[in-house]
Structure 1
Amino acid sequence: MRFSNWQNKFTAIWLILLTVVGLALAFAWLKKDIHIQTNIFSLLPETQQNPELAKTQQYMSDQLNQKVFVVLESQDQQAIEHATQLFETQLKKSALWQPLKPQLDLEQFSKQLYLHRAGLLSPQDRQLLQQAVQQQDFEALTEQSLMQLMSVGMPITAESLQQDPLLLFPRYMLNVATQASSDVELEHGFATIHDEQNVSRLLVLELTQSPYNIDYQQLVTAWIAQMQPQLNDLNVQSHWTGTILFSNFGTQSAQKEISTIGLGSTLGLIVLVWFGFRSFRPLLTEFIAVSTGSLLAFAITHLIFGEIHLMTLVFGASLIGVCVDFSFYFMAMQSQHRKLDGFNVLRPLLPSLFMGLMTTVVAYIFLSFTPFPAFRQIAVFSIVGLVAAWITSVLLLPRLPSLNAQPAIQCLGWIGQARQWFQQQHKMRYGFIVGIIAMGSVSILFLQPNDDIRNLQSMDAKLKQQDQYIRSLFGQQQSSDYFVVQASSSTELEQQESQLLLKLQQLQQQGAIESFQALGQWIPSLAQQQQNVQLLQQIPETALKKYAATMGLKFADVQRWQQQLQQQPLLTEQVFQQHPLAFLQPSSTERLVIVNGVQQTELLQQLESANIHFQQPVDTLSTAFAQHRQQAQHLLIYALLALAIGLGAVYGLGSVLPLVLPVSLALLSTFAVQAWLGVEINLFSIMGTFLIIGIGVDYAIFYRHGHDHPQVVGMALFLCMMSTLLGFGLLSLSDTYAIHCFGLTVLLGVIFSFIYATLFTPADQKHIVDLPHRSIT
């Protein structure tokens, strides 16, 4: 007999399903097949661009994401050396890091450059040579070498004069060093800055795992914390920055916010449930409903997407704010019919409860149409979670005895009384509606968007300060703006880059950019090196004899040097494999040019061509963010239309306006208030409106087609509103601006939805729920 009715059969099936899912998740967790993603930018859609450019962008991202930049500072040079040795020792002992490598072995690299010096000329020497060859006057070149020979800072040996009699190579190196930086020098292969007060040295640490691995983040953070006291003992101050540090802060912040939301929701619900029903039993039943909903939502979301993002769990933790709406409504109604069996109370309420669920589900279905992976994942999680929690509540709550909601109904009776009075004031009601539409329409004209992608992640002020400080000293390699130069051959690639660098030099002189970095600054193209060699070979014998006599050199040595120029190897990118800028050539047909301090983006965009592309990943993503916000706004309108059509089909055309008008006015008022407060909207603000639609239409449905006692409905919906505010309103306290905007939007939208549904939704006599033997005894 236990399974003779539908509720027992469905309950048995549901329990079996939950057990299977729970065991499957436990097994996957033990096998470590559960993947929780923390990379905030993995939530973003892939930019629609050339696949090769997208690959290059990922390449550039990996170059920085897998590194931690550390600046050591001390007044004592010896302390800096000891600190560097400490890092070398500790990194070798730890599996968390790659061994510490000098950014450049200067001695070895200089030797390599010297072996390939034949075609290397500074721009000044190249210009002097061109003029000398044209005018057959080499006096200026002789004077340049004499000045260098007499310079105290330029030690010249007899061997160097024999191999480079015109002293071209030292001037080339001096020019390159000046272009690279006027302050930074290499000591033991590490970038170092000496000023009047401190010695600063940059160390680049390389990770061994993904910076978005939560366990790895914690280990690296602990390792850094252990290093700090040891550096302090050496009187060395350290500054740290890197993707893993920001990602770890975001992870910790998200986990803290999950705890805050959970604690706040729990404490608030304890008070709310006791006030409403004089019992803590609903806490247990709602915990069961939310747990089963979250269990199934986690399983289905992970199955579909292959992973689940921490941000999805943050929003999932707020599911309790929605699923209790149905429970509160049912328990309030059941409290008025204590003599009836729970399922007899449920049966006439079920259509309204089901439609309330469907309105929220439809809103999330439309949200899943966005190209944002974040919203698709959150939408799937919410849909599955809400449906599962609803089923659990429907199967569980009617089995339990009714609770005493009468004190709360009497305490909140003024809501029903206010509703009844306002419903009778037809002119006032219509006047309020017109006023809200007029004021809201004017106010939203002043609403401003903020689509900056950097708002997605909470930023620790100290970490941001450290990052900015390191950038100010050694930040040239950390710029996110760059050119991609592509060609079909290495020769064409060098020509394309050379032409681009000339234009960038002009923009730098105009103040449009601060600086730029390119391999072409160090490596002249092969064609230019060959031209340089030809220029040197065109120096006539008479000029070389005169030069040798002036410099006190043997003419035979100078002549031998000129004759051997053609046999000497030219400089290629292979020599630069160990140079810090080697990453600027991902392949033989592609080079990157980093641009720092962009002031006028449009001037750089004008330099683009079929083979040259200017990339600004942050700005590009922000633009995509804005485009998807606009698409979500369109989806919002479509969702309202779909709900109107669906409600009309179920309840009749006459019910469409009363059910849709309150939530539409709530959305208008929400954005109007945000405009008054100066709050900028973003994609997460629009996401919050989908939740408002589902909840707001629920309120209208319960009022229009609920019980004929407005005091009971008013009390139940007031509890629903408060529970939603506890679940989602707390998000407005988030440190992450995007989540703060979402929470604030829901906070305002739910309040307005409740008020407008209470005041503006008239009862529908055709669909009133009529429960027999209404009695509270």
Structure 2
Amino acid sequence: MTASSPSGDAPSGHAIPDDSQPGAPQPDATGSHGPRLLAPGLRIALALAWLGLLVAAGLWLGSRLQLSGDLRKFMPAAQTPAQKLLIDELGEGPGSRLLLIALSGADAQTLAAQSTAMAATLAVEDRFQFVANGMDGGLDAVPERLRPYRYLLSPTLDGQAFDAAWLADELGARVQDLGSPAAGLIEPLLPADPTLETLKLAEAWQPANAPQRVHGVWFDRAGREALLAVQTRAAGFDPTGQQQAVDAIRAAFEASRGDSAATLTLSGPGAFSVEIGGRTAREASLIGTIDSIVFALLLWLAYRSWKAPLLGGLPLATGGLAGLAAVALAFDGVHGITIAFGFTLIGVAQDYPIHLFSHQRAGLSPWANARALWPTLGTGVASTCIAYLTFLASGVDGLRQLAVFTIVGLGSAALATRFVLPALLDPDARDPAHSPRLARLWARLARWPRMGPVWFGAVAMVALAIALLAPGPFWQNDLAKLTPVPAPALARDAQLRDELGAPDVRYLVALERADAQTALQDSERLRPALEQLRTTGAIAGYDLAARYLPSAATQLARQRKLPDADTLRPMLASAVAASPFREDAFAAFVDDVAAARAAPPLRPQDLASTPLAASVDGLLLRHADGRATALVSLGGLRDPDAVARVVSANGAQLLDLKQASESLVAQYRSRVLWALALASVLLVATVWFALRSGRRVLRVIAPMLLTTLLVLALLRGLGIELNLFHLVALILAAGLGLDYALFFDHAGDDRDSQLRALHAIIVCSLTTLLVFALLATSSIPVLRAIGATVALGVACNFVLALLLVRGAAEVDGDPMPSRATAST
């Protein structure tokens, strides 16, 4: 945002010198009041050198920039257990890393073959923690090195004695199994596992509501789509990792498709983030291209010079690179949102050279022109930076980054405009004050009635009433409403989750305990209550870490039921004697039981690099201080109140992540509002320091205040719930309004100065309005919110600055008294 400065006709002792005012010394084109002017060839060389330096700096910075996509950097510190869990789940939780795949468009056998081929390809990819499609009943879920532990992990021995009678029954069942179609699967397991405990575990670890199997793999209920679920190693907030995972899945699909007409549907947070990121980049590129073309055309039309668009972009580019470098130096990684929003917010720096161009005229040195404008420009820049300076105290890392980027960027662009750009300007530029068209426009605008205190108060009261009393919630706390994912894609995602039996993504049961073992033990005690809830229909199913990894106490209890080798051998010999198996067929079984008797209990860290690790790590969160939270995911939740009562009675808590996200948004908004309140006080103080007149301060700030109320009223009157991005946009719009008012105030009552200020503000407002009007058409809700808010703000600020701040003009020969006369 650009800024303004006091006019030279302020009361004596409070005026800021302005060389552009009538009566001020007018330096000639030789630059007697500043550095000497450069020859045309040297000006071109300096411009090229500046451009080259920017390109070199951009390349250097791009090679060293560490980008971050962690959304948690833009979240305030979590206060409640649900908020803490939400922050963890947002980036690293299994839900954020789960991708759902559906294959359709071919016959079931072809789709099953493709599912099998894809699963085999993806399973060896290091990008995925697990790949599941129901193949082999999930036997691969039990790695070879964990199979001796099967009796410690399985609940079989909780209600069954390990004796000769049981072994004899199991061997009899195996004889029948070997005569069944499943013989090929069972026979390799028998020497080490005659009771098929490995297979029982694999089946028990299948999802509680697993899909049906057709041709050995998962299919939907209608039997028309083959289903797969994969979990990425990359966190949900890692856009690069998620993009690589999506690319790997698409490549595996293409490799398995052959000549079939099958189609791929990919869903889940990672897939959505990749799609949103691509769409955002495409729209940003299109809008940026149109913005650049419009900016160049407007500057060419306004100044009739091909140099204006080129020179006008140099301060903006300088500010962008300076802001980016400052964030890179001050923080550990630059967030993508910081870059996106930062460049949007400092885009107002394009106004700085426009003011310089519009006030340049023959006979006036560009250096003197810049010096005369600097108090006004500097006041506006300082005021805008103050609004973002308060974000440094917000306690949110992302807002701090945005503040540093914006403050350094705007300051650098302003300084480049003041101390470098004048060296490149032609001192004999066309004076906008001599434009007949502009004079006719100003004559019409001068006849507009001024808005007095009564009308100002009436409009403000009506706008405030509409903003506060419009039906519907004032604030939008539901983050789901900000998602740019199309409704059909969300519905498809919900359908696939239902088909795959994926857990509810809103509710979780949590038990936070002093350590992982205590959390596992208490979650085991919770299982009977969960079973009762399933029986009554309050939930359709549940999942918890203890299902895969029992507590050490439970494992030790099962271990004590295992016989030693001297006891097991005669027991086994007796069972084998009554069966057709050879006496030495189960030597490996005896070794496994002996290994299980001597092994220490399995702990979470022992599961690293196994498929079980993904399931356990997602349901047992271990914290840096040693504490742990055991989670219970719920499927088919129908009665949250009943679940909350039951789990609370068992020392657990039902967490509503939707409510947690809304409270976090409200907390975030509260921080921003307090920051803005502080910024408002500092802004008024800054303008007062510059203008030294209460009357002028009120007149300069009035358009900004009324515009804010009018934009709020328009948005609320249209039924729009306000979100955090509307607030950011209102700050930007307020800065623009202050800029327009300051420059109208700077023009005073001199007709030529008024025309130059009007010319600059028209060019500034048109470029800004077109850019943000384009943003308002975006399919991305965040961009749309910012675009619509700022576009409305630009229009209101321009009109109100004319009605409230413009200098006196001669209309029908009746000049209004000047500020200097009135002050006297």
TM-score band w.r.t. shorter chain? 0.7 to 0.9
Query: Partners of 1:656 and 1:432 in 2: how far apart?
Result: 16
One of 715, 719, 722 as aligned partner of 2:766: 722
Deviation at 1:668, TM superposition (A): 0.5
User: Corresponding residue for 2:387?
Assistant: 363
Q: Is the 8 A contact 1:68 1:207 kept in 2?
A: no
Deviation at 1:759, TM superposition (A): 0.4
Q: Is the 8 A contact 1:367 1:687 kept in 2?
A: no
User: Corresponding residue for 1:746?
Assistant: 790
Q: Is the 8 A contact 1:37 1:308 kept in 2?
A: yes
| AA in 2 matched with 1:581 | S
Deviation at 1:669, TM superposition (A): 0.5
Query: Partners of 1:653 and 1:389 in 2: how far apart?
Result: 30
Query: Partners of 2:205 and 2:364 in 1: how far apart?
Result: 89
1:656-735 equivalences in 2 (<5 Å): 656-708=697-749, 709=751, 710-735=754-779
Q: Is the 8 A contact 1:184 1:193 kept in 2?
A: yes
1:295–1:369 distance in 2 versus 1, CA, 3 Å: same
Q: Is the 8 A contact 2:467 2:717 kept in 1?
A: yes
Higher relative contact order, chain-length normalized (CA < 8 Å, sep 6+): 2
| AA in 1 matched with 2:800 | Y
User: Corresponding residue for 2:329?
Assistant: 303
One of 271, 281, 290 as aligned partner of 1:255: 281
Deviation at 1:443, TM superposition (A): 3.0
1:75 maps to 2:103: no
Q: Is the 8 A contact 2:101 2:229 kept in 1?
A: yes
Q: Which moved more, 1:104-113 or 1:653-662?
A: 104-113
Long gaps (5+) in structure 2:
1-29, 162-174, 563-577, 580-592, 809-816
Q: Is the 8 A contact 1:485 1:612 kept in 2?
A: yes
User: Corresponding residue for 1:288?
Assistant: 314
Q: Which structure's residues are more often helix, by fraction?
A: 1
Query: Partners of 1:490 and 1:384 in 2: how far apart?
Result: 46
Aligned residue for 2:92, secondary structure, equals: helix
Aligned residue for 1:680, secondary structure, equals: coil
1:106 maps to 2:139: yes
1:614-629 equivalences in 2 (<5 Å): 614-615=654-655, 619-629=659-669
Aligned Cα RMSD in Å?
Answer: 5.6
Query: Partners of 1:55 and 1:194 in 2: how far apart?
Result: 30
Deviation at 1:672, TM superposition (A): 0.5
User: Corresponding residue for 1:544?
Assistant: none
Q: Give CA-to-partner distance per residue, 1:380-404, whole Å, 9 cap, x none.
A: 2222222222222223247423235
Deviation at 1:721, TM superposition (A): 1.4
Long gaps (5+) in structure 1:
130-148, 537-551, 554-565, 770-777
| AA in 1 matched with 2:306 | F
Deviation at 1:501, TM superposition (A): 2.9
| AA in 2 matched with 1:753 | N
1:596 maps to 2:629: no
Query: Partners of 2:339 and 2:360 in 1: how far apart?
Result: 33
1:475-624 equivalences in 2 (<5 Å): 475-476=501-502, 479=505, 481-488=507-514, 492-508=518-534, 512-521=538-547, 578-579=611-612, 581-583=615-617, 584-585=619-620, 590=628, 592-596=630-634, 598=637, 607=647, 612=652, 614-615=654-655, 619-624=659-664
1:173-322 equivalences in 2 (<5 Å): 180-181=208-209, 183-184=211-212, 192-193=218-219, 195=221, 197-198=223-224, 200-204=226-230, 206-207=232-233, 212=238, 214=240, 217=243, 220-221=246-247, 224=250, 227-228=253-254, 230-231=256-257, 233-234=259-260, 236-318=262-344, 321-322=347-348
Query: Partners of 1:266 and 1:7 in 2: how far apart?
Result: 32
Q: Is the 8 A contact 1:75 1:199 kept in 2?
A: no
Query: Partners of 2:273 and 2:679 in 1: how far apart?
Result: 35
TM-score w.r.t. the length of structure 2 is 0.71
TM-score w.r.t. the length of structure 1 is 0.75
| AA in 1 matched with 2:672 | A
One of 431, 437, 441 as aligned partner of 2:455: 431
Query: Partners of 1:107 and 1:649 in 2: how far apart?
Result: 73
Q: Is the 8 A contact 1:67 1:204 kept in 2?
A: yes
User: Corresponding residue for 1:329?
Assistant: 355
One of 35, 53, 65 as aligned partner of 1:34: 65
1:139-150 equivalences in 2 (<5 Å): none
User: Corresponding residue for 1:631?
Assistant: 671
User: Corresponding residue for 2:167?
Assistant: none
Aligned residue for 1:202, secondary structure, equals: strand
Aligned residue for 1:326, secondary structure, equals: helix
1:7–1:680 distance in 2 versus 1, CA, 3 Å: farther
1:55–1:361 distance in 2 versus 1, CA, 3 Å: closer
Deviation at 1:379, TM superposition (A): 2.4
Query: Partners of 1:245 and 1:47 in 2: how far apart?
Result: 27
| AA in 2 matched with 1:680 | E
1:277–1:27 distance in 2 versus 1, CA, 3 Å: closer
Q: How many residues align?
A: 724
| AA in 2 matched with 1:392 | A
Q: Give CA-to-partner distance per residue, 1:470-495, whole Å, 9 cap, x none.
A: 31222526846433434457774444
1:85–1:343 distance in 2 versus 1, CA, 3 Å: closer
Query: Partners of 1:378 and 1:509 in 2: how far apart?
Result: 52
Aligned residue for 1:517, secondary structure, equals: strand
Query: Partners of 2:126 and 2:515 in 1: how far apart?
Result: 40
Query: Partners of 1:57 and 1:453 in 2: how far apart?
Result: 16
Aligned residue for 1:70, secondary structure, equals: strand
Query: Partners of 2:501 and 2:51 in 1: how far apart?
Result: 53
Query: Partners of 1:229 and 1:670 in 2: how far apart?
Result: 54
1:226–1:444 distance in 2 versus 1, CA, 3 Å: same
Aligned residue for 1:192, secondary structure, equals: strand
| AA in 2 matched with 1:676 | G
Query: Partners of 2:530 and 2:469 in 1: how far apart?
Result: 41
Q: Is the 8 A contact 1:482 1:592 kept in 2?
A: no
1:88–1:420 distance in 2 versus 1, CA, 3 Å: same
User: Corresponding residue for 2:10?
Assistant: none
Aligned residue for 1:476, secondary structure, equals: coil
1:641–1:578 distance in 2 versus 1, CA, 3 Å: closer
1:410 maps to 2:441: no
User: Corresponding residue for 2:500?
Assistant: 474
1:4–1:299 distance in 2 versus 1, CA, 3 Å: farther
Q: Is the 8 A contact 1:218 1:248 kept in 2?
A: no
Query: Partners of 2:771 and 2:141 in 1: how far apart?
Result: 62
Deviation at 1:743, TM superposition (A): 1.8
Q: Give CA-to-partner distance per residue, 1:343-400, whole Å, 9 cap, x none.
A: 3333333211221222222222224433333332222222222222222222324742
User: Corresponding residue for 2:688?
Assistant: 648
1:290–1:535 distance in 2 versus 1, CA, 3 Å: closer
Q: Is the 8 A contact 1:484 1:614 kept in 2?
A: yes
